């Protein structure tokens, strides 16, 4: 009985927390590296798919080195365009800016 009541309380608290979370959440995590990424790779893009957009690949930071994240097709968002991920020089370091959709 005591275990059932504890489980019910835990479920109720989790449900309340889930309901109070906003519909859209945005998390920004900055990455700065002391040296530039390698030159971008040239990716062979196959024939464009109707209703899809190509998200180009980019160099991501693993915490120890750069690793290539390959490009991919995704469903296009009508009325939006995709701004690709990029690295920007910020003083002596390089700062990563994730790709995003803009109206």
At 23-35, the pLDDT tens digits run: 444 455 668 898 9
Whether 2 is covered by a domain: the verdict is no
Domain count, the chain: 1
Residue 65 belongs to what domain range?
A: 26-102
Whether 67 is covered by a domain: the verdict is yes
Name the more confident of 16 and 100.
Answer: 100
Whether 20 is covered by a domain: the verdict is no
Q: How far is CA 3 from CA 19, 70, 79, 100, in A?
A: 24, 48, 52, 46
Mean pLDDT along residues 75-81: 95
Nearest-5° angle of CA 34, CA 40, CA 41? 135
- Can you give the pLDDT at residue 47? 78
Quick check: helix, strand or coil at residue 44?
A: coil
């Amino acid at each position: 009985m005591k275990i059932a009541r504890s489980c019910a309380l835990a479920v109720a608290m989790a449900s309340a927390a889930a309901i109070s979370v906003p519909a859209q959440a945005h998390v920004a995590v900055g990455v700065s590296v002391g040296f530039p990424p390698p030159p971008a790779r040239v990716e062979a893009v196959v024939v464009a798919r109707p209703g899809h957009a190509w998200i180009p690949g980019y160099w991501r930071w693993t915490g120890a080195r750069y690793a290539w994240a390959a490009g991919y097709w995704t469903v296009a968002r009508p009325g939006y365009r995709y701004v690709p991920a990029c690295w920007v020089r910020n003083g002596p370091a390089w700062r990563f800016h994730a790709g995003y959709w803009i109206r």
